[in-house]
Structures are given as structure tokens and as C-alpha cells.
Amino acid sequence: MHFGLTEEQEMIVSTVRSFVENEIYPHEAAVERSGEVPAEVAQEIKQKCLDLGFYASNFPESVGGPGLSHLEFALVERELGRGSMALTHFFGRPQNILMACEGEQVDRYLMPAVRGERMDALAMTEPDAGSDVRGMKCTATRDGGDWVINGSKHFISGADHADFFIVFVATGVDETPRGPKKRITCFLVDRDTPGFEVANGYNSVSHRGYKNCILYFDNCRLPDAQVLGEVDGGFEVMNEWLYATRITVATMSVGRARRVFDHAVQYAAERKQFGQPIGKFQGVSFQIADMITEIDAADMLTLSSAWRLDQGLPANREIASAKVYASEMLARVTDAALQIHGGMGLMDELPIERFWRDARVERIWDGTSEIQRHIISREIFRPLGA
């Protein structure tokens, strides 16, 4: 077993980390205060990422992406995790699900997204359908040769900057021995489509500037050409491509935890009480030891799940394990870092309170911790017929 990175992988880490430190860090405080990313800053980040050749780094060379492996992309995401999500959003990682585009969809959606000409946003969640995706009430019904969508979506990240949306809606119901089961279809919806509105969402304490929006569909008419994948095949598309979002949460949690850890170590080495640095007291030093142990464990778990994908091995359980462990690790590490900083940890003169607030959402989005544990236990018991 070899746990080291290749020279090329080390270069990826170094390049992206340098980008985050030089292009993201300087804007973080202003974004945190205003809750906005200035358009010129967003464009500057996007252009510099394009110039580096890292835009759409989760896409293969066959469609114009850099062609990184799953492991290499995980390394990119880990380093991006060190920076504000509101700003790293413009580093540009379109949804992998766009690889399901066919025919003219390739030229209208996939290729422009990879080139950075159009931005996408993924829309599944509804007020009454979060973890229970099949509970969605947003529907599409047939009307002649078109589909007519009615309903709403909320908590849609990045929708304020999106040019088009990847939307999952209910397109029918099957009667099963376990009761009615909704059929789901995925649609590509342009921002300017009649009957479709993007509205401001809720003010979140996590990741200020990285906004969520509410989508409204009022007799929004779409032709069959806007179906991504097969009609009623939304779950198949979802299961094939959306595993990447869970790895992203895990890797970014590791990156953010390492940044928080660095702050805590530096503070513990400099802050003096009772005549010596607080890092010399076991109450602090043992917390530091626990923090780095958990960070390293989450890092290995996450990178190994990405490696399994590269090897063509089953990875559903491993990815779920990485997501739940890394996101919960981040919560413990940020809380410990805040405790080490004492009262100053809660003041906005330091970024610690921001890291602490931002950490909370990682256990919720892209599949709650409870859903990840369900996936893990299901994968264990399924071969036993239980």
C-alpha cells in the first residue's frame, strides 16, 4: 500500500492551495461583512481559474475538462475547502450529472458549462421533501408534446449566479406493495424560461455570501428536449452521478479543518497564561492531539473512497462513511478551536467563529448524517438479506 502523492498530485495541491491563499483569502472578510460577492471579484476568480486550466476539473478531457482522476479532484476540493465557499464557487465545478447530456444538450449545456460560459445549479430540495426525495410535490404533467411544471424548490445553492438549472420533479406515481411511489424525472431549465422564477432564499448563518434561493414554477412549459436522461429515470441519473457531492463535502470538511487546526496551534503556541504558552497545558495540548488525529483519519477515509472510484471498486458505503465522519469531525475540530481561543474565538475580529458557524451545515446538506448512516447500514445488511 502506498499512501504518498505523486509529483503531479503534489503540484495540484500546491497550485490550488496557493490560489486559495492568494485569490480567495484576501476577499473573505469583505464577503463575510456584506454577504455579497462583487461581480468583478467573481469574474476575476473564474478567469484566473480558467487561465490555470483547473476550471471544470471534475470533467474528463473528452469534453474539454482537465481529466483529473477522482483522487486528484478530491485533492482539489480539499484545498478549496480552506476558503470561503461564496468565493471558491467561482473556481468552477459544474455538476457531474451534466455528463448525462445527449444530442443538442451537449452543445447547449454541457460544453458551455465546462468552458465557464454558463453556470448551473442543482434543484432537488423542497419545503416538504429534503431527505425524502420521493416526497417532492413539484410535478411535471404531460400537455400535448410538452411538460408543464408546477411547484417550488428551496435551499438551491448558487442559484443567484446560475444560467440554467438541473431540476428533479415528480412525473407520475406507481402503486407498489409498500404504497404509492413517485416517479422522478430530471429537467434542464433555462433561467429565462416563461413560468419560471428565481427568488431570494433565506439568510443562513453558514457560508455567508454563498446564497440559497427559492425556485417557483407556474405552468412552466418544457419540451421533451429538456429531459436529462430518461423520462421517469431521474433516480437512475441521480444515483449514477451525485455521489460526487458527498465526496466534495467530505474533502472540503478536511481542508477547512486543517485551516482551523493551523489557527488553533498558532494561538496555543503564542497565547500565555500562568507564565507559559497555553499549548503546554494538557487541557489544550491533548485537544490539539485529538484534532490532528481526527483530521488525518477523515483525510485517509475520504481519499481512499475517491481512490476506490478510480479503481472501479464499489464505494457507496465508503463515500457515505467519509461524508458523515469528515463533516462531524469538522464540527468537533471547530468547536475545540473556539474553546482554545476562549472568548476571542467568538469575536468576528478572528475567523474562528465563522469556521464554527460554517461547519454546522455540512452535517445537513448533500445528505444528512442520518441518511449517510442509513446508506452505510443498508450496504452492510443487504448482502445478508436483512
Tens digit of each residue's pLDDT (9 = 90 or more) over 325-342:
999 999 999 999 999 999
Structural domains of the chain in order of their starting residue, each with its CATH number: 7-95 (1.10.540.10), 120-235 (2.40.110.10), 245-384 (1.20.140.10)
**pLDDT at 97 exceeding the cut of 90:** yes
Query: What average pLDDT is seen over the chain?
Result: 94
Q: Say what percent of the chain tops pLDDT 70.
A: 100
- Residues whose CB is less than 8 angstroms from the CB of residue 115 and which lie 6 or more positions away in sequence, other chains included: 55, 56, 64
Give the residue among 33, 4, 22 at the shortest CA–CA distance from 354. Answer: 33
Average pLDDT over residues 18-44: 96
The pair phi, psi for residue 154, each rounded to 5°, is: -140, 175
CA gap 271, 308 in Å, rounded: 43
CA gap 85, 360 in Å, rounded: 14
What is the reported pLDDT for 336?
Answer: 98
CA gap 22, 19 in Å, rounded: 5
pLDDT band at 240 (very low <50, low <70, confident <90, very high): confident
